[in-house]
Chains A and B, each alone.
Chain A
Amino acid sequence: MRNSRRTVRGFALIETIVVGTLLLLVVQVSWGVTAVQSSVALRVAAGAHVLDEARLIGHVLASELGYGGVGRDWEVMGGELHLRAFRGMGIGCPIQPSSGWGVTVSGHRQPDPDKDSVLALSPDGTWRASALVRRARGRGLDCPPVTGFDAEVWHLDPPRSDALVGVYFERGAYRFSNGAFRYRRGKSGWQPLTRSGLATDSSTLSALGEEGVQVQATWRGPGQTTSAYQWSVWGRR
């Protein structure tokens, strides 16, 4: 039995060494694999992030350009897209209040006299611009029943109480700068619409013929990898 115990002790030592070596190997391999997994996961996440942002930029520009015409409502100057950013519309009510213009309104956001102007369609078929001075709820107004529209009274300068419809808009601009795609309302600061990561030195907005905008967007990913996309956005007539 003594011999047997000695054999067992010796085996235990060898076993400990082997186990220790194996453990080190496992830790090393695991470390490496985890690092690779982390890198792959980062790349996948970064790729998804780039796709999300490219989709966002494409959607924003297509929506913005879709309601205007080049020269009339938007133009590209020095890599910046300056535009009338349409945010909603009002339909004139058949019976008008004693003051103001009764409309039923719907849009991406509510009209804001601090930001918005209105293009109103006159009965003769011409569009004329006015400032939105004030707005109030249109309680009791007899307006066309359209789902998602709410009655309001708009006070415009100059007044357009005989107009048929009006679209409200703010002045704005888009550009790539400081690592992000940014929007600026009026003369206010440039606000990022995407996270930083855009290579703004190689991301551009440029005029494409008479009716479109060419977008070149490049993202820098982990490990100095880059993803570049180029597409065109067209206005509508």
Chain B
Amino acid sequence: MKGVGPRDQKGFALALALLALMVLAGIVSAAVAAAVGQVRSASAAGRVLVSRTKARAGLETIFAETVGRPASFVGGPAVALGSDTVPGGSWRVLDLRLSREFHLFMGEGWVGEGIPLRDVRMAWWMDPVFRVAAHQAVIESAHIHVGAGAELRADSLLAERPGVLPCGHLSLLAGAFGHPGFPASGHLPGPPEWGSDSSASGFAGIRLGWFTASALGELADRHLSESIPSGLRCPTCWLGLVVGERQVDFGESGGGVLVVDGDLTLLRGSFWRGLILASGDVTFRGSSRVLGLVRAGGSVTLEPGSVVDGSACAAFHGLQSAASLARPIPLPGRSWAGPVSPGIS
């Protein structure tokens, strides 16, 4: 038992302490490993979530804030619509124009120097030229009655008129209206130009492209009311988007886009220059006058003395005057497309 002494006894205590430490270290390292794994996994998932949320937020921001006409063109490269960098991430939205009115918006969101995640949404952005060119007659309606002494003209659709510039230089309008024999009256077009079907619900009444009646009501520059006089007396002014409901008796004058979700009566002496859309019946009383195009879901009656002078240019300028309509909206129904891969170059 030589060599057995107090030093060895101390060494035994050290071994005990080391053993205990090893066990404790095992517990701690297992917990730390699990926690670190969770933190890494959760932060990676968090970065993905933040990037995707940024991409979506960018798209929502663009839809909420963009006004005006698109800068992109069909067949051209994608155009940046907007971008922003805020603490926590950045986003950018690109606009790829697919046709006259359909656009693909691609939102990109990223965190720091990370790879952008992308989301795609289809947008509809009204093109006044395309909208007007879709008209197949000066008056489109379910039924039309032209009284004796009433005038319905379709002979100067592209010509200059008082307060209306010519528009024959626009090739789409020239192609649609520049030929002789353009009909003065015709049937209503079917969906998606007018009305609802299984692919597009919510357009049972008024429809202007992919704007529903409620959307037009929200975007209106002026509202007509049954009981309150409209107060519109500006034959030479473009008033933008003017919206009424139910039964509207219009006795004033103005220009732009007149939308009535119901029946419309133009009283004697009234005048409208531009586009008229009504879901119900439209009646033109004697000496009322319209310069432009008319589309009505019900019947149209021209009483003796009334005049509807077809003008694609007036309709075009009326649509252009409605600045509130110059904005992209998500394509109703299915607007999200994808998925697409992250934006790796």
Complex: how many Å from CA A119 to CA B31?
49
A148 to chain B, nearest CB (A): 5
Identity of the chain B residue whose Cβ is nearest the Cβ of A13 in the assembled complex: B1
Is B338 in contact with A89, judged by CB distance below 8 angstroms?
Answer: yes
A41 within 8 A of B: yes
With A26-B19, A48-B38, A91-B96 known as contacts, the answer to whether A165 contacts B104 (CB < 8 A) is yes
Interface residue tally for chain A (C-beta within 8 Å): 56
- A residues near B149, Cβ cutoff 8 Å: none
Identity of the chain A residue whose Cβ is nearest the Cβ of B342 in the assembled complex: A148
A219 within 8 A of B: no
Is A59 in contact with B45, judged by CB distance below 8 angstroms?
Answer: yes
- A residues near B339, Cβ cutoff 8 Å: 63, 67, 86-89, 107-108
A94 within 8 A of B: yes
- A residues near B342, Cβ cutoff 8 Å: 148
B177 within 8 A of A: no
- B residues near A66, Cβ cutoff 8 Å: 336
Interface residue tally for chain B (C-beta within 8 Å): 51
B341 within 8 A of A: yes
- B residues near A47, Cβ cutoff 8 Å: 34
Is B102 in contact with A127, judged by CB distance below 8 angstroms?
Answer: no
Give the interface segment out of B72-80, B211-219, B263-271: B72-80
Is A33 in contact with B336, judged by CB distance below 8 angstroms?
Answer: no
A77 within 8 A of B: no
Is A8 in contact with B1, judged by CB distance below 8 angstroms?
Answer: yes
Interface members, chain B 1-54 (any A CB < 8 Å): 1, 4, 12, 16, 19-20, 23, 26-27, 30-31, 34, 37-38, 41-42, 45
Identity of the chain B residue whose Cβ is nearest the Cβ of A237 in the assembled complex: B335
Complex: how many Å from CA A89 to CA B337?
7
Interface members, chain B 194-226 (any A CB < 8 Å): 199-200, 210
B228 within 8 A of A: no
- B residues near A123, Cβ cutoff 8 Å: 99, 102
B120 within 8 A of A: yes
Interface members, chain A 54-70 (any B CB < 8 Å): 55, 59, 63, 66-67, 69
A146 within 8 A of B: yes
Complex: how many Å from CA A9 to CA B4?
11
B315 within 8 A of A: no
Complex: how many Å from CA A9 to CA B96?
96
Is B31 in contact with A44, judged by CB distance below 8 angstroms?
Answer: yes
Is A86 in contact with B200, judged by CB distance below 8 angstroms?
Answer: no
Complex: how many Å from CA A164 to CA B75?
11
Is B30 in contact with A125, judged by CB distance below 8 angstroms?
Answer: no
Is B341 in contact with A146, judged by CB distance below 8 angstroms?
Answer: no
Q: What is the interface of chain A mostly: helix, strand, loop, or mixed? A: mixed
Is B19 in contact with A89, judged by CB distance below 8 angstroms?
Answer: no
B76 to chain A, nearest CB (A): 8
Complex: how many Å from CA A164 to CA B4?
91
With A45-B30, A92-B98 known as contacts, the answer to whether A236 contacts B38 (CB < 8 A) is no
A119 to chain B, nearest CB (A): 8
B62 within 8 A of A: no
- B residues near A106, Cβ cutoff 8 Å: 340-341
A121 within 8 A of B: yes
Interface members, chain B 53-100 (any A CB < 8 Å): 74-75, 77-78, 96, 98-99
- A residues near B77, Cβ cutoff 8 Å: 144-145
Q: Which residues of A contact B (CB under 8 A)?
A: 8-9, 11-12, 15, 19, 22, 26, 30, 33-34, 36-37, 40-41, 44-45, 47-48, 51-52, 55, 59, 63, 66-67, 69, 72, 86-89, 91-92, 94, 106-108, 119, 121, 123-127, 144-149, 164-165, 167, 236-237
Sample of 17 A–B contacts (CB below 8 Å)? A15-B4, A33-B23, A41-B27, A51-B41, A55-B42, A69-B334, A86-B339, A88-B339, A89-B120, A89-B338, A107-B338, A107-B340, A107-B341, A108-B341, A144-B77, A147-B344, A148-B341
